[in-house]
């Protein structure tokens, strides 16, 4: 990475932090003298960094899957002012996403799909990208896969509006193909800021493409699923994408996903359901 590229990266990172600080009313920037947080990016953007030399092939050392830390204490945010600031911050990001042209996806889609849900959600679901139905409505997981996800959320004893649902990329890739590393890198700052604002206790990552992008790993979802990972101290549970389950609608696959979600329920302290 050249000096000019490094400077531009720092400027973008600083601008993102300041925008989030303004939206949250001063709750994000560290005190004077405290180092600013590093804005990490997916593997494609980190491929030439020094840290990738010491990490396994294709995996960033700062971002590689690890065993999850001990459960966090449940969030107790109930102050309407806190919720309002978080909602405003997320809406500001959504407006940026709707006008973003950092990659070629926006030109070929009908609507950008920023994400939706509880701005202070304990649980966050992250998929790979919008499909045809999502592109038409500008909302995540509203097609057949979304209907299955809704059932899974309800089986956990939750409502869709209680969680937050987002995707790695915010615009539909042509033909529903997996997003490229460059497309994921372009959307990465948006997703990172969403996670920082929401502060979920657990993230469920849905499917192969999303898991590889979020966890910056070459390991496939078949090996990753059901095993706790960690991202910036947040426990992450990889599992199959609902669309895959619909394509491979077997008792075994449905059982595997339910087993994964039960681990999430246990981590969140939710009552365990009977099989």
Print pLDDT tens along the chain (275 aa). Answer: 544 454 454 445 445 544 544 444 444 333 333 333 333 444 433 333 223 223 333 334 334 445 554 555 566 556 899 999 999 999 999 999 999 999 999 999 999 999 999 999 999 999 999 999 999 999 999 999 999 999 999 999 999 999 999 999 999 999 999 999 999 999 999 999 999 999 999 999 999 999 999 999 999 999 999 999 999 999 999 999 999 999 999 999 999 999 999 999 999 999 987 66
pLDDT digits (tens, 9 = 90+) for 7-41: 454 445 445 544 544 444 444 333 333 333 333 44
3-state secondary structure the chain: CCHHHHHHHHHHHHHHHHHHHHHCCCCCCCCCCCCCCCCCCCHHHHCCCCHHHHCCCCCCCCCCCCCCCCCCCCCCCCCHHHHHHHHHHHHHHHHHHHHCCCCCCHHHCCCCCCCEECCCCCEEEEECCCCHHHHHHCCCCCCHHHHHHHHHHHHCCCCHHHCEEEECCCCCCHHHCCCCHHHHHHHHHHHHHHHHHHCCCEEEEECHHHHHHHHCCCCCHHHHCCCCEEECCEEEEEECCHHHHHHCCCHHHHHHHHHHHHHHHHHHCCCCCCC
Phi, psi of 173 (to 5 degrees): -70, 145
By the 8 A CB rule, do 257 and 251 touch? no
How far apart are the C-alpha atoms of 268 and 138, rounded to whole Å? 29
Phi, psi of 7 (to 5 degrees): -65, -45
The closest of 237, 187, 231 to 63, measured between CA atoms, is 231
- pLDDT tens, position by position, 143-164: 999 999 999 999 999 999 999 9
| 52, two tokens | 């990738």
User: Which residue, chain included where needed, has tokens 């001063």?
Assistant: 26
The pLDDT of residue 273: 73
Nearest to 13 by CA among 42, 37, 33: 37
Q: What is the pLDDT of residue 79?
A: 85
Pairing of strands 123-127, 202-206: parallel
How far apart, in Å, are the Cα atoms of 39 and each of 11, 27, 249? 11, 17, 39
- What phi, psi does 192 have (nearest 5°)? -60, -45
The helix-helix angle for 208-215 and 181-198 (nearest 10°) equals: 70
Q: CATH topology for 3-22+81-268?
A: Uracil-DNA Glycosylase, subunit E (3.40.470)
Per-residue pLDDT at 249: 95
Residue 143: other Cβ atoms inside 10 A: 20
Are the C-beta atoms of 179 and 169 separated by less than 8 Å? yes
């Amino acid at each position: 990475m050249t000096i000019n590229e490094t400077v531009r990266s720092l400027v973008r990172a600083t601008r993102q932090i300041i925008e989030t600080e303004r939206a949250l009313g001063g709750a994000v920037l560290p005190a004077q003298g405290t180092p600013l947080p590093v804005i990490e990016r997916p593997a494609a953007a980190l491929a030439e960094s020094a840290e990738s030399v010491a990490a396994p092939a294709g995996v960033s050392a700062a971002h590689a899957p690890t065993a999850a830390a001990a459960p966090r204490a449940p969030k107790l945010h109930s102050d309407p002012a806190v919720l309002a600031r978080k909602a405003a911050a997320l809406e500001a990001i959504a407006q940026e996403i709707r006008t973003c042209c950092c990659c070629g996806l926006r030109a070929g889609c009908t609507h950008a799909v920023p994400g939706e849900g509880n701005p202070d959600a304990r649980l966050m679901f992250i998929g790979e990208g919008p499909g045809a139905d999502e592109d038409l409505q500008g909302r995540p997981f509203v097609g057949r896969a979304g209907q299955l996800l809704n059932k899974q959320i309800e089986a956990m004893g939750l409502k869709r509006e209680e969680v937050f649902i987002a995707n790695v990329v915010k615009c539909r890739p042509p033909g529903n193909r997996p997003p490229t590393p460059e497309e994921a890198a372009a959307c990465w700052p948006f997703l990172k800021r969403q996670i920082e604002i929401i502060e979920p206790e657990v993230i469920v990552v849905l499917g192969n493409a999303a898991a590889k992008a979020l966890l910056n790993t070459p390991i496939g979802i078949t090996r990753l699923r059901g095993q706790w990972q960690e991202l910036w101290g947040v426990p992450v549970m990889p599992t199959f994408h609902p669309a895959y389950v619909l394509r491979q609608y077997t008792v075994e696959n449905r059982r595997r996903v339910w087993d994964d979600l039960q681990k999430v329920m246990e981590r969140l302290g939710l009552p365990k359901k009977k099989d």
